[in-house]
Amino acid sequence: MVQTPEDLAKYPQLDSRDFYVDIEHPKAGKSRYPGALSKMFKTPWQARMPAPLLGQHNKEIYGELLEYDDEYIRKLHDQGII
């Protein structure tokens, strides 16, 4: 059997197994996403957060990971680089 994405979204077996999860996104609102392919009791899966906003993790990436100082990060932002 070949199913379209629309068929899968409406497939009652997936609904009965709680395959889809609703995630609230600050800009896009509430959306339905596919969840874990299998369920494990000792290591349960959960959706922890929505997709990040553009630039949401700049401070962590450029500051903590790449160790750029705040002034340099501000210059990159002001120049439209990040």
Per-residue pLDDT of the chain (82 residues; tens, 9 = 90+): 789 989 988 899 998 888 999 999 989 899 888 888 888 888 888 888 888 998 899 999 999 999 999 999 999 999 999 8
- Shared domain for 2 and 21, answered yes or no, is yes
If one counts every other C-beta atom within 10 angstroms of the C-beta of residue 28, the result is 11
Residue 31 belongs to a domain:
yes
- Shared domain for 1 and 26, answered yes or no, is yes
Residue 6 belongs to a domain:
yes
- Shared domain for 28 and 59, answered yes or no, is no
Quote the CA–CA distance of 39 and 54 in Å, as a whole number. 31
Residue 43 has a pLDDT of 86
Residue 63 has a pLDDT of 94
Residue 21: which H helix or E strand, with range? strand 20-25
4 lies in which domain range?
1-41
Pairing mode, strands 29-34 and 20-25: antiparallel
Residue 76 has a pLDDT of 93
